[in-house]
Amino acid sequence: MRIEAVELVRLQLPFVSPFRTSFGVQTGRDVVLVRVVGDGVEGWGENVAGEEPLYSAEFVEASVLALRHHLVPRLLAAGDITPFDVARVLAPVRGWEMAKAAVEAAVLDAELQRQQVSLAQWLGGTQRRIPVGVSVGLHDHIDQTVTAVNRYLEQGYVRIKLKIEPGCDVDLVRAVRRAIGPDVMLQVDANAAYTLADARHLARLDEFDLLLIEQPLAEHDLRQHAQLARMLRTPVCLDESITSVQVAADALALGACSVINIKPGRVGGLLEARRIHDLCQANGVPVWCGGMLETGVGRAANLALASLPGFTLPPDLSASSRYFAHDITRPFELVDGCLEVPTGHGVGAVPDPQMLRDLDATVERLRI
Ligand code: NPG
């Protein structure tokens, strides 16, 4: 298809409650959506960059510049393209995986509207309903985390992920494990907050039968993750470190992890995400779909990805109401602990124009 115009749609969406991780507190999202128009169809993609460069180097303000000055002009100049061409067209620009992923998702959405097929079907998804997990942020007191965890379990979530940081780990996990019993799936996420010197301390988590510990060390510490993995019984999962299928292959070869969290935004798009899935599936490595506090636009695309057969662990894909009083798309709702994979053409979730107006979304239109 030929992309005739691209819009950058920007809006502020507050959270129902603040979300705290080892790298900071977030009270809402500064959302950038990419809308592409061409061949009589439109497509939407979500840029998941955060407001500050704390999770990774990419952040919203800068990724808008990358989109406006470097990525969108290349897309508009590319002529007739398929979704497979997007990554190649954008490759000369280094970095900006989240911005690139938003562009690719928007082109995929538009192309699949044209082909009248859903993203899940096109990707090769096999699951229609996905049992989902929830990510629980840090609180000031352990009791508050336990209360939040109990509330999420009552709502039906099948797996709990606890954010941890130095000073808020072993006692927290012990209290939560005691409260929920031995059978509920439980995992922790450090967001790169530890060093290898903490290895003996982190080994104290082994007794709580965790599914995994996610990203204990810094992004580039693959060799040190391999050393740590040998010292823990808890499986090590990587998130921030895995920025491409090539890094995934290196990490597995080094023994840096035995599980991978796949996020399309972190790896530059849904197609690279699927390559990581395929690599892991071929090597018997379990994967799960991570989340970046997406609106319905990104959530729908993640659900399609998470419907692929190798996604054997529950994703960080909660109901829209976990984060937002009003999502910008139709809300995703939990039914018996599951979210339904969208079946509409393309990504299967479109922003509601009235919601965009109510939120004073700004629209910047770029064309050749
Ligand atoms: O449910 O979408 C969700 C959020 C899941 O905890 C979650 N995401 O490190 O995986 C993470 C974390 C995150 C949040 C990362 C915000 C970056 C920004």
Closest residue CA from atom 18 of ligand 1: 292
In testing the pocket of ligand 1, which one of 294, 316, 317, 323 has its CB within 8 Å of the most ligand atoms?
316
60, 50 in Cβ contact below 8 A? Answer: yes
227 Cα–ligand 1 center, Å: 25
Q: Note the pLDDT tens digit of each residue in 209-245.
A: 999 999 999 999 999 999 999 999 999 999 999 999 9
pLDDT band at 363 (very low <50, low <70, confident <90, very high): very high
All domains in the chain, ordered by first residue: 5-115+351-367 (3.30.390.10), 121-340 (3.20.20.120)
Q: Where are the alpha helices (DSSP H) in the chain?
A: 60-66, 72-77, 83-90, 97-115, 119-123, 142-155, 170-180, 199-202, 222-231, 245-254, 264-267, 270-282, 296-306, 353-358
Q: Is the CB of 241 under 6 A from ligand 1?
A: no
Q: What is the pLDDT of residue 368?
A: 81
Report how far residue 329's alpha carbon sits from residue 109's, in angstroms, rounded to the nearest whole number. 15
292 Cα–ligand 1 center, Å: 4
161 Cα–ligand 1 center, Å: 10
The yes-or-no answer on residue 100 being catalytic is: no
Q: What is the pLDDT of residue 105?
A: 98
Shortest-distance atom of ligand 1 to CA 317? 1
pLDDT band at 175 (very low <50, low <70, confident <90, very high): very high
Q: What is the pLDDT of residue 304?
A: 98
Q: Note the pLDDT tens digit of each residue in 316-361.
A: 999 999 999 999 999 999 999 999 999 999 999 999 999 999 999 9
